[in-house]
């Protein structure tokens, strides 16, 4: 009788040992996070929301001081007008008054050259008779040569005006207008960004800076949790990785909740990592794991981030149960 009871007990233990181990992974509940960087190093002059507040896309979160950027925008717009006026002048070409003034300058330069040449010739003749020094003759010659150079310069200036504006100059003027306009548009965009708005519907998770602070360029002014529902970030143990694929269904269990939250695997990293301390259970201490994300449904929309959880994969459990050798290996 004792032998029969011992046989039944041994069979029961053996049957329990052959049952598949639960296919589970541990992790935390997360929301997609986005950071709103500071577009410029300006002082915060207004904060319109508080941490934990739900906001909609386009809602104003905070404002930065726009006095400097607005002044730069006005200066950039004035530069656009100046460049456009210069381009118009290039396209119209020189006025008749400018051409007449150039002709007058040329006539004056010719008269000065004639006077300088005559003075040089007189001194040269006197120098041959030793009435003037050689230094005076050299100075007169230099003055005459300078006057000749002035004539050539005046002739070139007149010729340039008479021929009109070159096509290369017009092209340069057009490029200058485009550059000035682009700089003005960039300043206008920056001015709009100083009113920091929510890019998507979500929850304000953190406001690192306070009223009056000046955040550095690129510093996170606000951190938001976005998306319609959260996701579970879990670490899949290496023995379970082959049985879990993107798109598989999963059940997520939270402490204090009787019913699991259903979801689907949306991402699995290809490169393994060491299992973090909070996901270590028994033999998992020495195992590698694969980071995965499970997108949850609307029933989890009100859950906060950071909750510890456990995820099970029905498909992996069924595949493990259908392989006796694998189950026995797990039991061993």
Task: Quote the radius of gyration of the chain (alpha carbons, Å).
Answer: 43
Categorise residue 244: left if φ over 0, alpha if ψ from -120 to 50, beta otherwise.
Answer: beta
The Cα 205–Cα 84 span in angstroms is 48
Q: Which is higher by pLDDT, 181 or 8?
A: 181
Q: What is the mean pLDDT of the chain?
A: 83
Q: What is the pLDDT of residue 319?
A: 58
Query: 17-26, 106-115, 197-206: which has the highest mean pLDDT?
Result: 197-206
Strand partners, 288: 274
CA-based torsion, 239, 244, 250, 254: positive or negative: positive
Other CB atoms within a 10 A radius of the CB of residue 5 amount to 9
The Cα 117–Cα 327 span in angstroms is 116
CA-based torsion, 226, 231, 234, 238: positive or negative: negative
Average pLDDT of span 102-115: 87
* Predicted TM-score (pTM) of this structure: 0.61
Q: Per-residue pLDDT tens for 138-178? A: 888 899 899 899 988 988 887 777 666 677 888 899 999 99
Categorise residue 227: left if φ over 0, alpha if ψ from -120 to 50, beta otherwise.
Answer: left
In terms of Cβ atoms closer than 10 Å to its own Cβ (0-12, 13-18, 19+), residue 298 is exposed
Q: What is the pLDDT of residue 68?
A: 95
- pLDDT-wise least confident of 66-80, 159-173, 179-193: 159-173
Average pLDDT of span 44-66: 95
Domain annotation for the chain: domains and CATH numbers: 32-66+193-223 (2.40.50.100), 94-164 (1.10.287), 227-312 (2.40.30.170)
- pLDDT-wise least confident of 21-30, 40-49, 243-252: 21-30
Strand partners, 295: 231, 264
Q: What is the pLDDT of residue 325?
A: 39
Q: What is the pLDDT of residue 13?
A: 43
The Cα 266–Cα 59 span in angstroms is 29
């Amino acid at each position: 009788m004792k032998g029969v009871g011992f046989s039944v007990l041994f069979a029961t233990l053996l049957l329990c040992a052959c049952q598949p181990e639960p296919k589970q992974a541990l992790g935390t509940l997360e929301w997609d996070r986005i950071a709103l960087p500071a577009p410029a190093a300006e002082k915060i002059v207004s904060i319109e929301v508080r941490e934990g507040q739900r906001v909609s896309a386009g809602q104003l979160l905070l404002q930065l001081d726009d006095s400097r950027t607005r002044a730069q925008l006005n200066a950039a717009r004035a530069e656009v007008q100046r460049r456009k006026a210069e381009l118009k002048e290039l396209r119209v070409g020189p006025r008749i008054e400018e051409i007449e003034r150039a002709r007058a300058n040329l006539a004056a330069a010719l008269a000065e050259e004639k006077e300088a040449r005559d003075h040089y010739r007189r001194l040269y003749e006197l120098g041959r008779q030793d009435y003037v020094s050689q230094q005076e003759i050299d100075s007169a010659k230099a003055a005459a040569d300078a006057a000749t150079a002035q004539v050539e310069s005046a002739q070139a200036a007149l010729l340039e005006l008479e021929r009109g504006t070159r096509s290369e100059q017009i092209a340069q003027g057009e490029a200058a207008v485009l550059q000035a306009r682009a700089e003005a548009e960039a300043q206008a965009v920056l001015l709009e960004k100083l009113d920091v708005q929510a890019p998507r519907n979500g929850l304000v998770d953190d406001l690192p800076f306070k009223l009056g602070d000046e955040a550095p360029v690129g510093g996170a002014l606000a951190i938001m949790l976005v998306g319609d529902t959260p996701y579970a970030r879990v670490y899949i143990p290496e023995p379970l990785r082959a049985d879990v694929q993107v798109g598989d269904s999963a059940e997520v269990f939270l402490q204090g909740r009787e019913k699991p939250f259903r979801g689907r695997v949306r991402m699995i990293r290809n490169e393994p990592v060491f299992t973090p301390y909070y996901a270590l259970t028994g033999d998992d201490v020495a195992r590698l794991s694969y980071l995965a994300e499970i997108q949850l449904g609307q029933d989890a929309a009100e859950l906060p981030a950071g909750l510890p959880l456990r995820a099970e994969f029905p498909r992996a459990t069924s595949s493990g149960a259908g392989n006796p050798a694998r189950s026995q290996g797990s039991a061993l």
